[in-house]
Structure 1
Amino acid sequence: MKRKNLLITVLITTFITPYAAFAKPPRYVDKTYKCDILVVGGGLSGVATAYEGLLAGKTVCLTEITDWLGGQISAQGTSALDERPTQRQKQFYSRGYLELRNRIQRKYGKLNPGDCWVSDSCFLPRDAHNVMGQMLKDAEREGKGKLQWFPNTVIKELEISKDGKIINNAIAIQHQPVKNTPPLNTFPLSQTIEDAYRYENSPRFTKSIIRFVAKQSQRNAPNWYVVDASETGEIVALADVPYRLGIDARSYLEPSSSSATNDPYCTQGFTYTFAMEATQEPQPQTMPPFYPVYAPYFSYELKRLANFDLVFTYRRIWSPKQGQPTRFGGVNFTAPTPGDISMQNWTWGNDYRPGTAQDNLIYTRQQLQATGQLKPGGWMGGLRTEALAKGEEKALAYYYWLVAGTTDSQLGEGVKQPQPNNRFLRGFKSPMGTVHGLSKYPYMREGRRIIGRPSWGQPEGFGIWEIDISRRNYNDEYYRQTLPLAMYRQLKAALSGLEATAVIGGQISPDQAMRRTRSTIFPDAVGIGHYAIDFHPCMEKSPPEAPGNRERPGERRGAGLAYPFQIALRAMIPQKIDNLIVGGKSIATSHIAAAAYRVHSFEWSAGAAAGTVTAYALKNNIAPYQLVDDLPKIEPQLLSLQKLLQQNGNPTAFPDTSIFNQNWEDWR
């Protein structure tokens, strides 16, 4: 009874007074750890950073809010590798990502134990955590580095030098369950996240206060580095360096933007994934009390997708017995059989897509100020707890819709049929490793994105934009009618290469200019990626599950195919702070470009770059910004870094990348 009352109290505190009390000042530091590289976030980018840092012989401190390594493919449950056919066929990936794929194959005896059709590799999230843990141990031994792993740990404060250029130390909080209370992963994130960021012990958690400092003594260049590999750009926000969030204003660089002005509240939807198992017999299905709130939202979305078996096998992560070959909507797959396990991640299902100032998940800088999170000791993770809770409810409601629902918000009545021969998987031994059955952390598609330092051609700060990667045909009548003539000329000039000056000057009509058929080539490339510009847009009104609500108009215009692209070092270097490097989804991309720069192999490549760059900077007594501050002039040490990356099996360019090779149409 006491435990039940405590849970009720926590829920009331969570939903009614989420910021009633801010964290107290540090009581004391329990232990100090010395690092060459502090990596914040144990997702794919963070693991890749640690992997390369360890191989380079560095001492790496790695923190993670959950207790699993791997982010997308473990704690977030999206254990289906997003890859493009040509890159996969050529196996053109970072060495660590190739090793990850190889180890998954060795683990199961095949790369796709789920026999899913969305990917060539779908597998169990728990196994991803174990595989990456062993990879880091092997890298530690091979490179003679040292790994210090801190699960269940969040960064609470940064101590920054008086000139604002160096993070001198970071204060973290690690939590463990109080004796004789429920273990970790019993409660969903919305019920524990605020407790995790408070210094004081609670009825649920005991806390250890940790300080991270540089291992090396002071010198001319930074003596240690902090890498923000978090899912939402936590350190970017906490350090208060310039960044963007949500939609960028329409411009010649971002011509498909859905808004003429910036809109920081509309980010891509986030998803609590879950696993369900096909059964021989019908199972009892209990309607969640909140189901009617979300039921008007759910849909198969398109007629060609309106088939339960197709949706079940889309991200099937375990299939011990192969079913009968089946085809629906032009897709070939094998039918589910009892014992098959499916992971659910569906736009008109368990995606939660807030897009207004009343319900956005990732707080803007203004919202952080208003809630006191930028004050000393006030940081609470920068997320709206209520949005997390609603996302959790919606995921549970979506499962009930899949097995018992008969409505469809987009396709009407008579399409959706009950599917009772399934059960929701819960427990510590379940694929998600949680008592509640949801992923430990939501799958995040977009976070805060830094604005790089002023650079030639981008004096207001470097960024990677839509036109740098998109295959879109900008001769579409929409662009002629929507963009002002001067902006349209800029767009066509930016895409025309050598004819740019003539287009801008009016000597050549914008429609006569030849368009390149490749992505922008960056002289400071340190990694690669390839994926379509894939949108899960925010909803137009609040709350997102409201009956009749629709996606933000125009958000999908930027979606479509992309050319193979590069990761520029300038996109990883924030303004103001010299020993902060960004890896993962918070690099300097636009809202539209970020929709491609977010998948598994890209995250690994960005992390591999971050680990290599920081180790190189420490060895050569140089700050990363000094590698690119004279561009477009030749930077000898930048060339040396790029050579090192390539020698280590971390490509910085796709085959035949050259200003003279204009034809990348064969890359699919």
Structure 2
Amino acid sequence: MGRELHADIVITGGSLGGVAAALSAASAGKKVIMTEDTHWIGGQLTNQAVPPDEHMWIEQFGCTASYRELRNRLRNYYKNNFPVTEKARSNTFLNPGNGWVGRICHEPRAALAIINDMLAPYVHSGRLTILTRYKLTAAETSGDEITSVTVRNLDHGNEYVLTAPYFLDATECGDLLPISGTEYVTGSESISQTGEMHALPGDPDPMDMQAVTWCFAMDYIEGEDHTIEKPKDYDFWREYQADFWPVKHLSWQILRPATLDVRDMVLFPSNTMDSLWGYRQILDKDNFLPGTFDSSVTLVNWPQNDYWLGPIFDVSEEEAKRHLEGARQVSLSLLYWMQTEAPTRDGKIGYPGLRLRGDIVGTEDGLAMQPYIRESRRIKAEFTVLEQHVGTEMRNGKAAEEFKDSVGIGAYRIDLHPSTGNRNYVDISSLPFQIPLGSLIPVRMNNLLAACKNIGTTHITNGCYRLHPVEWNIGETAGYAAAYCLNNNISPRELRNTDKHLSAFQLQLRQQGFELEWPQVVKQ
């Protein structure tokens, strides 16, 4: 047995929600331990290398104050540390990459720097301990409570036994749930289970999960040859075409998610067609003085490197490894195809000047530290958000459901990528929504809170509750909720179901810069 460490709150997983939970719990005066499998904390924003997906009002409202601080610090990181142009410096809403997927596309390592700065006061004071490269391996329980978790270092094998009154699961796949015996669901529910219009018409399929994507960063140095070694599975991916997909996987053609129409794309910006390069461009060299960067940089998280041939959790270790390697291989194959065989805009073949930028994602092999995981195990919660609560079509002209126990707000389309059950996109309109506290609370466990994408949603509603500002809000809420319960000697269930405590907690959240309902202008 490893050395024992004790805290007020243990957070398993350094996801984006985990980071927000650590920040809120430590700022509330609690001693916190957070663990993380990889070298970088920050989840989808850093070690998965996904620049923010956000709603249209994000610059004005619709997130917590600390998430807004994160965004503001990111802009200032470039303005204060780089030779930016005067135009960029004077732009209040600077988008470092000018990617068109969002309003603040940036490098993963920049986000890591800001996250570390935000957490630094608590790390330096000893209130927050961060254990990177530590993987969750076991949990001990007593009745309906977790008493300890064990984590093992992935490099040297050292173990810690972590004890605390409260545990937050902020792992990307909800890893604490099965280990602790906490009730959870996976995959796709059926219409008969949930009544959702877009749920499965037949039986539920726990193994039907959204594709994962192993992202990578690349730049382009024209006239140079940066072609990688031919990936071992390239021949398979070069010819692969899913039964539900009208074109080959490696192609400049993709589908429009909402209509499933084929859409022609090009790599570099064009006057007539949409550019894949510009989609998630995370560094625009034109924002900086001439000579600062040799090339702009883009982040490849495209339909062409989505991997849907099988799930990566709740399967055998051997199968999980096979699918993780498959996700790596399709990304490497996409790059190799672009370098060697892809049609170019001038009628030639291949862009050998495309260069993997492992330095940007913190790896030697050039791919992100882990794949972008869109869908986690989800707790069986006190309250589960359904399509009926937030789906535009199912609301029949009404605003989204109002939740008495709201702890935040979010907005995004219900955006489901092709899945391991061979289902195509489900991309439908949803309404600006609230985050109910009940979705963070398990039906049985008393001292566990969900703190990221593992809350009580369905396969369908996960599609709009999984994005950056919402995950941050969920994690930040979990940290404050655990601290409030400790201070008042109550359980999260009592917090939610006792009016005086719920009102006091919601007031505390407002004082910390949370928005618990959407402005009337959005509801109209």
Q: TM-score range by the shorter chain?
A: 0.7 to 0.9
Query: Partner residue of 2:67?
Result: 97
Cα shift at 1:586? 0.5
Contact kept in structure 2, 1:58 and 1:145, CA below 8 Å: no
**Contact in 2 for aligned 1:573/1:625 (Cα 8 Å):** yes
CA distance in 2, matches of 1:49, 1:465: 25
Question: For residue 519 of structure 1, what is the aligned residue in structure 2?
Answer: 400
Distance of 1:175 and 1:101 partners within structure 2: 32
Q: In structure 2, what is the equivalent of residue 341 of structure 1? A: 297
Kindly report which structure 2 residues correspond to 1:83-94, keeping only aligned pairs within 5 A, or say none. 83-86=54-57, 88-94=58-64
Residue 166 of structure 1 is matched in structure 2 by 145
What is the CA-CA distance between 1:406 and the residue it aligns to? 3.7
Residue segments in structure 1 that go unaligned for 5+ positions in a row: 1-27, 177-205, 215-223, 324-336, 372-379, 409-413, 454-461, 475-494, 496-514, 541-550, 657-662
Amino acid at match of 1:248: E
Q: How far does the alpha carbon of each residue in 1:597-627 deviate from its partner, in whole angstroms, 9 at most, with x for none? A: 1000001000111011000000000000112
Q: Which residue of 1 aligns with 2:182?
A: 241
Does the alignment pair 1:210 with 2:160? yes
Aligned to 1:463: 384
Match of 2:250 in 1: 298
Q: CA deviation at 1:566?
A: 1.2
Q: 1:539 to 1:241 in 2, by over 3 A?
A: closer
Aligned to 1:37: 9
Structure 2 Cα separation of the partners of residues 284 and 145 of structure 1: 45
2:183–2:379: 8 Å Cα contact kept in structure 1? yes
- Asked if the contact 2:407–2:516 (Cα under 8 Å) also holds between the matched residues in 1, the reply is yes
The Cα shift of 1:338 comes to 4.7
C-alpha deviations, 1:432-480, integer Å up to 9, x for none?
A: 1111111101111001111113xxxxxxxx31011211112x5xxxxxx
The structure 1 residue matched to 2:453, chosen from 585, 606, 629, is 585
**Inter-partner Cα distance in structure 1 for 2:458 and 2:319:** 21
Matches within 5 A, 1:126-525: 126-138=109-121, 146-161=127-142, 164-176=143-155, 206-214=156-164, 224-251=165-192, 253-285=195-227, 286-296=229-239, 297-299=249-251, 300-302=253-255, 304-309=263-268, 310-321=275-286, 338-347=294-303, 349-354=304-309, 359-363=310-314, 367=315, 384-406=320-342, 417-426=349-358, 430-453=359-382, 462-472=383-393, 495=395, 515-525=396-406
Please tell me the residue identity of whatever aligns with 1:598.
Answer: R
Q: CA deviation at 1:249?
A: 0.3
Q: Could you tell me which residue of structure 1 aligns to residue 504 of structure 2?
A: 640
- Which of residues 444, 453, 460 in structure 2 aligns to 1:576? 444
Superposed displacement of residue 64, structure 1: 0.3
Distance 2:207 2:462 in 1: 15
| Distance in structure 2 (CA, Å) of the matches to 1:528 and 1:664 | 12
Give TM-score, length-normalised by structure 1: 0.69
Q: Report the Cα distance in structure 1 between the residues aligned to 2:514 and 2:123, rounded to whole angstroms.
A: 18
Name the CA distance, whole Å, in 2 between partners of 1:576 and 1:407: 56
Q: What CA distance in whole angstroms lies between the structure 2 residues aligned with 1:566 and 1:50?
A: 22
Deviations 1:28-85 (Å, cap 9, x if unpaired)? 32x221111101111110000000011101001000000111111110011x211111
The Cα of 1:560 is off from its aligned counterpart by 1.7
Shift, 1:415, TM fit? 9.6
Q: What is the alpha-carbon distance in structure 2 between the residues aligned to residue 39 and residue 305 of structure 1?
A: 44
Preserved contact between residue 311 and residue 420 of structure 2 (Cα < 8 Å): no
CA distance in 2, matches of 1:145, 1:250: 49
After superposition, the Cα gap between the structure-2 partners of 1:415 and 1:626, relative to the gap in structure 1 and judged at 3 Å, is farther
Q: Offset at 1:417?
A: 5.0
Cross-structure match for 1:76: 48
> Partner letter of residue 266 of structure 2?
N
Q: For residues 525-536 of structure 1, what are the structure 2 equivalents within 5 Å?
A: 525-536=406-417
Maintained 8 Å contact 1:51/1:96: no
List, as ranges, runs of 4+ consecutive aligned residues in structure 1 with deviation greater than 6 Å. Answer: none
Per the TM alignment, residue 91 of structure 1 is displaced from its structure 2 partner at its CA by: 3.1
Shift in alpha-carbon separation, 1:600–1:136, aligned structure 2, 3 A: same
Contact 1:64 1:152 in 2 (8 A): yes
Post-superposition offset of 1:145: 7.3
Deviation sequence 1:558-585 (CA, Å, 0-9, x none): x222111111111111122100100110
CA contact (8 A) 1:53 1:612 kept: yes
8 Å Cα contact 1:247-1:266 kept in structure 2: yes
CA contact (8 A) 1:248 1:259 kept: no
**C-alpha distance 290-153 of structure 1, shift in aligned 2 (>3 A):** same
Over the aligned positions, Cα root-mean-square deviation in angstroms equals 2.4
Q: How many residues align?
A: 482
| d(CA) in 2 for partners of 1:436, 1:450 | 34
Task: Say yes or no: does 1:54 pair with 2:26.
Answer: yes
CA distance in 1, matches of 2:327, 2:450: 27
State the alpha-carbon separation in 2 of the partners of residues 278 and 231 from structure 1: 32
- The 1-side partners of 2:287 and 2:75 are apart by 18
Q: 1:434 aligns to what SS in structure 2?
A: coil
Q: Which amino acid aligns with 2:469?
A: S
> Kindly tell me: are residues 340 and 442 of structure 1, through their superposed partners in 2, closer, same or farther at Cα, counting changes over 3 Å?
same
* Preserved contact between residue 44 and residue 372 of structure 2 (Cα < 8 Å): yes
Report the Cα distance in structure 2 between the residues aligned to 1:266 and 1:415, rounded to whole angstroms.
40
Say whether residues 1:125 and 2:112 are aligned partners.
Answer: no
What is the distance in 2 between the residues matched to 1:564 and 1:290? Answer: 42
In structure 2, the CA distance between the partners of 1:653 and 1:317, relative to structure 1 (3 Å rule), is same
Query: How many angstroms apart in 2 are the aligned matches of 1:433 and 1:174?
Result: 19
Distance of 1:598 and 1:83 partners within structure 2? 11
Contact 2:167 2:447 in 1 (8 A): yes
Aligned to 1:375: none
CA distance in 2, matches of 1:264, 1:122: 34
What secondary structure is seen at the aligned counterpart in 2 of 1:156? strand
Report the Cα offset of residue 139 of structure 1.
5.3
Letter aligned with residue 132 of structure 1: I
Q: Is the 8 A contact 2:219 2:298 kept in 1?
A: yes
TM-score by length of 2: 0.87
The answer to whether the 8 Å contact 1:49/1:609 transfers is yes
What whole-Å deviation, never above 9, does each CA across 1:358-394 have from its counterpart, x for those lacking one?
x32221xxx5xxx5xxxxxxxx7x9811110111111
Distance between the aligned counterparts of 1:340 and 1:62, measured in 2? Answer: 35
Q: State, as a whole percentage, how many aligned pairs show the same letter.
A: 30
Q: What is the deviation of 1:306?
A: 1.4
Does the C-alpha gap of structure 1 residues 463 and 57 become closer, same or farther in structure 2, counting only changes over 3 Å? same
Rounded Cα–Cα distance in structure 2 between residues aligned with 1:383 and 1:636? 49
Distance 1:664 1:649, change over 3 A: closer
> What letter is aligned with 1:124?
E
Q: Structure 2: which amino acid aligns with 1:339?
A: S
* Residue identity matched to 1:596: C
CA distance in structure 2 between the aligned counterparts of 1:610 and 1:315, rounded to whole angstroms = 30
Q: Provide, for residues 317-354 of structure 1, a one-character-per-residue CA deviation record: whole Å limited to 9, x for no partner.
A: 1122369xxxxxxxxxxxxx95111110011x111113
Q: Which secondary structure does the structure 2 equivalent of 1:445 belong to?
A: coil
Label 1:664 to 1:131 Cα distance change in 2 as closer, same or farther (>3 A): closer
Give me the whole-angstrom Cα distance separating, in 2, the residues matched to 1:118 and 1:404. Answer: 27
Give the structure 2 partner of residue 20 of structure 1: none
**Contact 2:62–2:409, Cα closer than 8 Å, also in 1:** no
CA distance in 2, matches of 1:73, 1:401: 27
